[in-house]
């Protein structure tokens, strides 16, 4: 066996310093070009790589041919880029982070104090609308500062013991910010570090260029101009096609003639709730059996229907024994095997922007979301209500909704910038049980933020009802030991951290 470290991503500033040409001839395209030739060339991979580096222009032509003419887009995945994306709105971050095959780390509103930085959407041009927008956001920000102080004081009184150390102090201040941020607008700026391969990046360009928001379209243009000098041969289809633009046009036109489920102008103040709204969950039929049957099908070479029929005839006691033995060695960080992907779970819920910001980070799922709608009400954190700030919070939400309606009529999609982290949207999310385990471990956990924890908790309870065997260890990591001991009357197996 011969293995070589063929490449790794390094800081572009270092690359520029090392190369007398300012990094112009240093490109990840040679890796794509070399790997693309593996399937047909008799040469060893490291030789192919050497050849690719000797003639960068030839490598570029080869990439274009292989991607464009032969349609092997996957070779573009061998080139990876890192982007520092700064000063973008929370609303834009939602569009930026919706891609599954990319990595993101975002500035969290839980851990930083916001200075009221905001992205003023360029779509809002008329002075009167600009003024209304800025005033609404400033009012929200003033409340944020007030709520941080009030909640901070209250929490410090309640958790005096924690304040002895710096870590405890940060924790308490974090709790205050975590809830105060519900009033911050989606125009609040943030930053993200993004790592992405060339294939996904090209897909991002096609999606972002169709964004209803100018900020996102501008970001696409900026990233495109940064990446093209470095890797011109890998981004070949950055423009949306007619299919991208129009696939849903006819159905959407028909749908717009149907009555809306949520009345557009419901009288009175939209409801304030303190967590995820009603959660609907649906499941694949017989998840417990399906998982065992898929295992049986592969180990005994049966077709799935035969395997399922055998499992259905197996006694409930035997199935329970199999699952108990299966989970006996489980750790809180164990990944469930792929058989668990056979059972699907679909969630529908109305959740706050704050909850959505966290939910969207779970990439191994299908997540569809509607627009934020004031008619869906807002999420009022219990701590705000308990600090006597609930009425003021709701008055600001009312005022925000007023500005939103004006903007919506005149500026369309840009109106959503003025809405807050408390505003809600409807989501539809499909996950398999393998991912559900991962999601619930992280999010129905004592370290998780309460809003997404409520959602994860509600969903986990429903999943355990419907898949009582396969989901017997479905719980947050902070409850893992307790659950294990309840089932096995013994602590979970220890871990050897050598």
Ligand X SMILES: Cc1cc2nc3c(=O)[nH]c(=O)nc-3n(C[C@H](O)[C@H](O)[C@H](O)COP(=O)(O)OP(=O)(O)OC[C@H]3O[C@@H](n4cnc5c(N)ncnc54)[C@H](O)[C@@H]3O)c2cc1C
Q: Which stretch binds ligand X (CB under 6 A): 105-113, 305-313, 346-354, 462-470?
A: 105-113
CA pair distance 397, 272, nearest whole angstrom: 10
Binding mask 423-442 for ligand X (x = CB under 6 A): ------------x--x---x
CA pair distance 289, 301, nearest whole angstrom: 17
In the complex, minimum distance from the CB of residue 347 to ligand X, in angstroms, rounded to a whole number: 14
Residue closer to ligand X by CB (options 195, 274) is 195
Task: Look up tokens 């099908």; give the residue.
Answer: 297
Residue closer to ligand X by CB (options 74, 108) is 108
* Among 51, 64, 74, 108, interactor with ligand X by CB under 6 A: 108
In the complex, minimum distance from the CB of residue 363 to ligand X, in angstroms, rounded to a whole number: 3
* Among 64, 74, 77, 106, interactor with ligand X by CB under 6 A: 106
Pick from 62, 79, 81: nearest CA to 6: 79
Site size for ligand X, by CB under 6 A?
14
The encoded tokens of residue 152 equal 């901070």
CA pair distance 73, 64, nearest whole angstrom: 10
* Among 447, 465, 481, 485, interactor with ligand X by CB under 6 A: 447
Residue closer to ligand X by CB (options 226, 364) is 364
Q: Which stretch binds ligand X (CB under 6 A): 104-112, 120-128, 138-146, 342-350?
A: 104-112
Binding mask 40-59 for ligand X (x = CB under 6 A): --------------------
Residue closer to ligand X by CB (options 43, 112) is 112
* Among 279, 448, 460, 471, interactor with ligand X by CB under 6 A: 448
CA pair distance 88, 93, nearest whole angstrom: 7
In the complex, minimum distance from the CB of residue 200 to ligand X, in angstroms, rounded to a whole number: 10
Residue closer to ligand X by CB (options 447, 486) is 447
Binding mask 333-372 for ligand X (x = CB under 6 A): ----------------------------xxxx--------
In the complex, minimum distance from the CB of residue 313 to ligand X, in angstroms, rounded to a whole number: 35
> In Å, how far from its chain's centre is CA 225?
26
Q: Report strand pairing: 378-379 vs 272-273.
A: parallel
Residues 363-422 close enough to bind ligand X by CB under 6 A:
363-364
Pick from 173, 114, 110, 171: nearest CA to 143: 114
In the complex, minimum distance from the CB of residue 193 to ligand X, in angstroms, rounded to a whole number: 8
479 scored as a contact of ligand X (CB under 6 A): no
In the complex, minimum distance from the CB of residue 47 to ligand X, in angstroms, rounded to a whole number: 29
Binding mask 109-138 for ligand X (x = CB under 6 A): ------------------------------
> In Å, how far from its chain's centre is CA 119?
21
Residues 63-102 close enough to bind ligand X by CB under 6 A:
none
Q: Contact, 177 vs 169, CB < 8 A?
A: no
**Residues 6 or more apart in contact with residue 173 via CB below 8 angstroms:** 152
In the complex, minimum distance from the CB of residue 476 to ligand X, in angstroms, rounded to a whole number: 10
**Residues 6 or more apart in contact with residue 412 via CB below 8 angstroms:** 123, 212
In the complex, minimum distance from the CB of residue 109 to ligand X, in angstroms, rounded to a whole number: 9
**Residues 6 or more apart in contact with residue 94 via CB below 8 angstroms:** 356, 357, 360
Please report which helix (H) or strand (E) contains residue 85, including its range: strand 80-89
Q: Contact, 114 vs 181, CB < 8 A?
A: yes
3-state secondary structure of 144: helix
In the complex, minimum distance from the CB of residue 253 to ligand X, in angstroms, rounded to a whole number: 34
CA pair distance 192, 199, nearest whole angstrom: 20
Enumerate the β-bridge partners of residue 89. Answer: 189
Which class for 11: exposed (0-12), middle (13-18), buried (19 or more C-beta within 10 A)? exposed
In the complex, minimum distance from the CB of residue 443 to ligand X, in angstroms, rounded to a whole number: 6
Residues that bind ligand X (CB under 6 A): 103-106, 108, 361-364, 435, 438, 442, 447-448
């Amino acid at each position: 066996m011969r293995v070589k470290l063929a490449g790794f991503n390094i800081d572009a500033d270092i690359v520029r310093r090392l190369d007398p040409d300012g990094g112009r001839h240093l490109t990840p395209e040679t890796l794509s070009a070399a790997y693309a030739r593996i399937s047909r060339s008799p040469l060893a991979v490291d030789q192919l790589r050497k050849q690719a580096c000797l003639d960068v222009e030839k490598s570029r032509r080869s990439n274009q041919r292989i991607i464009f003419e032969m349609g092997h887009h996957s070779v573009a995945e061998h080139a990876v880029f890192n982007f520092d994306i700064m000063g973008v709105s929370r609303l834009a971050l939602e569009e930026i982070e919706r891609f599954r095959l990319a990595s993101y780390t975002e500035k969290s509103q839980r851990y930083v104090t916001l200075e009221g930085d905001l992205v003023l959407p360029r779509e809002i041009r008329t002075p009167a609308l600009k003024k209304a927008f800025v005033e609404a956001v400033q009012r929200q920000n003033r409340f944020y500062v007030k709520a941080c102080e009030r909640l901070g004081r209250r929490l410090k009184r309640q958790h005096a013991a924690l304040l002895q150390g710096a870590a405890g102090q940060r924790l308490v201040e974090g709790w205050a910010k975590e809830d105060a941020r519900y009033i911050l607008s989606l125009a609040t700026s943030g930053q993200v570090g993004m790592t992405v391969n060339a294939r996904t990046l090209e897909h991002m360009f096609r999606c972002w260029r169709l964004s209803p928001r100018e900020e996102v379209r501008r970001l696409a243009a900026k990233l495109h101009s940064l990446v093209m000098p470095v890797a011109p041969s890998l981004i070949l289809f950055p423009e949306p096609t007619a299919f991208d633009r129009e696939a849903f046009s006819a159905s959407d036109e028909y749908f717009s003639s149907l009555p809306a489920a949520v009345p557009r102008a419901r009288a009175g103040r939209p409801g304030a709730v303190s967590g995820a709204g009603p959660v609907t969950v649906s499941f694949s039929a017989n998840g417990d059996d399906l998982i065992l049957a898929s295992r049986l099908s592969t180990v005994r070479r049966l077709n799935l229907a035969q395997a399922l029929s055998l499992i259905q005839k197996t006694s409930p006691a035997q199935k329970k024994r199999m699952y108990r033995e299966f989970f006996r060695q489980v750790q809180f960080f164990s990944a469930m095997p792929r058989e668990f992907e056979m059972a699907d779970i679909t969630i529908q819920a109305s959740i706050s922007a704050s909850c959505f910001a966290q939910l969207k980070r779970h990439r191994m799922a299908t997540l569809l979301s509607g627009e934020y709608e004031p008619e869906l009400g807002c999420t009022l954190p219990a701590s705000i209500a308990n600090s006597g700030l609930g009425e003021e919070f709701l008055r600001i939400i009312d005022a925000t909704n007023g500005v939103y309606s004006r903007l919506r009529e005149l500026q369309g999609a840009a109106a959503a910038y003025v809405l807050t982290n408390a505003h809600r949207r409807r989501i539809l999310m499909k996950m398999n049980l393998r991912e559900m385990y991962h999601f619930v471990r992280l999010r129905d956990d004592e370290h998780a933020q309460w809003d997404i924890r409520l959602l994860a908790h509600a969903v986990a309870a429903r999943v355990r009802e419907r898949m009582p065997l396969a989901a017997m260890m479905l719980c947050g990591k902070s409850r893992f030991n307790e659950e294990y001991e309840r089932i096995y009357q013994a602590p979970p197996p220890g871990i050897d951290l050598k």
